[in-house]
Amino acid sequence: MKNNWLKLIIAIIICEAAGGIGSIFTANSVAIWFPTLNKPSFNPPNWLFAPVWTLLFLLMGIALYLVWQKKSNQWVKTAVMIFAFQLILNIAWSFLFFFLHNPLAGLIEIIFLWLAILLTIIYFYKISKPAAYLLLPYLLWVSFAAVLTYFLFRLN
């Protein structure tokens, strides 16, 4: 049981750390560059993003744990690799959009992120249905973020 708690904590830390890395690319731009952009009417207030992402990374960590704690086989290894890939893409979006100030690159990249999340959900579903369900809010939020990114690109 102790090992399971340790795996859960590690899985959550990995995901929250990805969020932390992404926020390094984001923090300065949110204060300086982002306010200068024309935004669509449905753009959420800036204060909403940090709590939403913190919760999503927590859910992602729990989902990762649910898959990671299963008996290791090729499905589990592949699912974890796809999960890691989408986590890297998540960080990459912050880098492209916020750090490089490039909404077009962010728009192109978020399409790949969305597909990687969907693929992760499909693989997780074969291993742990609850793990797959825990990723659905993430997919929905990234869907919204993709639409928002599109409009930010179009308006700027």
CATH number of the domain at 142, please. Answer: 1.20.1260.100
Residues of the chain with pLDDT > 70, as a percent, come to: 98
Amino acid, res. 113:
L
Over residues 37-64, mean pLDDT? 97
Domain that holds residue 70: 2-155
Whether 69 and 137 have beta carbons less than 8 Å apart is answered as no
- pTM across the whole model: 0.95
Mean pLDDT of the chain: 96
Q: Which of 81, 93, 106 is nearest to 21 (CA)?
A: 93
Over residues 6-17, mean pLDDT? 96
- Please check the confidence at residue 18 and state whether its pLDDT lies above 90: yes
pLDDT at 71: 85
Between CA 134 and CA 11 the distance in angstroms is: 14
For residue 123, CA distances in Å to 64, 67, 100, 118, 126 come to 11, 10, 32, 9, 5
DSSP reduced 3-state for 72: coil
Query: For the chain, how many structural domains are there in total?
Result: 1
pLDDT band for position 2 (cuts 50, 70, 90): low
pLDDT at 51: 97
Whether 120 and 82 have beta carbons less than 8 Å apart is answered as yes
Between CA 11 and CA 27 the distance in angstroms is: 24
pLDDT at 1: 52
